[in-house]
Structure 1
């Protein structure tokens, strides 16, 4: 245990006694980028600790106010390369996903394949509000069906199409109840806001 804590302390991610400025009181009202790609070990533990802290702050908040029929977003938690993290059985991440809507703690996942959301212990797919599938290979028909809410036949037909999508082409749930999916070309963020 001491070795694990020493490794965390040596990576200099957390506040140390006597440091200026003082420690962060709340993580839910800040913009933080926690880059753990260079950590040799303990990446999941760092994520777990931050997400646990965020959940505890969320639990103490009242419901987000509603203005003009919309709730105010308080926090956006983005987990890039989520396929490395989704299998970790983080109960606090699961609770944020289940309970965060009224508090408006939004979770974004970015992963290499829709298959990554199929976990035996927790169904991330059924709780995805918005899902966008870009080109990827080896995606299962069941993942496509769960994410898009389409028929099994449509999901099987889309397997090949997903593998052949051009850059920036996207398949998503349809906004029209009569259609099983929609296909469109996304615009790169850097082109619009760069």
Structure 2
């Protein structure tokens, strides 16, 4: 990501970086999965698979990026694409994650829309909520990490080793680093 001529970081840079870090972890998991493990049913009714959670994450990024295409300002997470191919084939999902990472990097060099409108269904008529790209990127970080934590739980019975930071929100990682500093200073 580039910085403006003033040398100050772009306002969205940190939010984009958090999303990119989560997506890099997700891609690492996808690169290690066989299609059989990716489709393995979990839960009493067998509704949960790694693939369904990954597809759900991708759907939300696609909804944001699709809403921004060609200068759009309307977002709708309710009417997502739900591409079942992404639930079945980890390599296809990994490629889509790579595409999303590139699109997020491109956002860093663009001027964000001043405001966005999020359609949120309540009752018969959806609400039109005012939001911003920054707010939606913050939402996507939390949403992605939430589903990655579930992925981590589902990966355990499959014997998949994940990094300790997998599915941990950046705020928690920062807290862990702050807590470790006094211990490191005592040992010095």
Higher RCO, Cα 8 Å, sep 6+: 2
- Greater radius of gyration (CA): 1
TM-score normalised by the chain length of structure 1: 0.25
TM-score normalised by the chain length of structure 2: 0.25
